[in-house]
Amino acid sequence: MSAQAPAPPIRLRVWQRRRPVVGKAWRHPLAIVGLVLAGAWIVIAIFAPLIAPHDPLAQTASSFAHPGWHHLFGTDELGRDVLSRVLFGARLSIPLALLLVSLALLIGGTLGAVAGYFGGILDTVVMRASDLVFAFPAIILAMVVTAALGPSVRNAVLALVIVSWPSYARVVRGLVLSTGDSEYVASARLLGSSARRALLREVLPNVLGPVLVLATLDLGNAVLLLSGLSFLGLGAQPPTPEWGAGVAEGTQYFQYWWIGTFPGIAIFTVVLAFNFLGDSLRDALDPQSSWSHGGDAE
């Protein structure tokens, strides 16, 4: 009788602990720059009355004073401190951008989710309405709406919500269409979940990531559009300190470069910060991202 061959040794598979993808994405230099810039401007917007050296509406020096120790950013044509006006401008631009994006996300996301999940005539109506808005350039349509309602900050925000919601409706609709056909949604419906419950508990959590990335990127665009409307005289009205209005004042006095330069730099840094944050958030949520996997192959 031949000897029985020994059984092969049992090999235990050791699972290598994966490093957190989100942490790696947020350690990228551009992500750090975005966090620092956005955090600094949010702090400035909250504590502007404590940080600003002067009243932004008060005439504190002679007109067109050059930047110096007493007025780091100089003064404008009325002798108002430009630094104080830039700091107080953050209290208007950043909260309004957050409000604008939140309203556009709420309206567009709701319409897109309902249209994509239920389809039919509702889907047709929502998509044709979004096509109608997309047929016009965003800034032109916003100008028309604001001019019809009257120049003011409230009307500018309302106009930009009108031109911004279709992008969220299209993105959410596409994601809901792709997710709604998945097996786990079908299983939830077979187990007795209602359409509303399946939409809220199974579909929407899976579309939040891409929509959050879009909203973060749109924050910079919202600041830019709000400043553009104020630059054209359709947004914030004098003497309210606002970045777009400050740039518009600077165009009237090119020889006094500091009047429009510093509000323009403020717009640039805020838009840059939110773009960096949006890119970093996308890379953190995307498993195929080069930032997320860069360095994993060791």
Q: What per-residue confidence (pLDDT) applies to 293?
A: 47
**pLDDT tens-place string over residues 152-172:** 999 999 999 999 999 999 988
**pLDDT tens-place string over residues 267-279:** 999 999 999 999 8
Q: What per-residue confidence (pLDDT) applies to 292?
A: 46
Give the domain ranges of the chain. Answer: 78-287
Q: Collect all residues with Cβ–Cβ distance below 8 Å to 266 and sequence separation of at least 6.
A: 41, 86, 89, 90, 243
Task: Calculate the average pLDDT of the chain.
Answer: 82
Specify the pTM.
Answer: 0.81
Tell me the β-bridge partners of 81.
75
Is pLDDT above 70 for 122?
yes
Cα–Cα distances in angstroms (integers) from residue 2 to residues 5, 8, 9, 33, 271, in the given order: 9, 18, 21, 72, 79
Q: What per-residue confidence (pLDDT) applies to 188?
A: 54
Q: How far apart are CA 84 and CA 73, in angstroms?
A: 9
Q: How far apart are CA 238 and CA 96, in angstroms?
A: 17
CATH of domain 78-287: 1.10.3720.10
**pLDDT tens-place string over residues 217-258:** 999 999 999 999 999 999 988 889 999 999 999 999 989 999
Kindly report whether the peptide bond that precedes residue 67 is cis, defined as omega within 30 degrees of 0.
no
Per DSSP, the three-state class of 75 is: strand
DSSP designation for 81: B
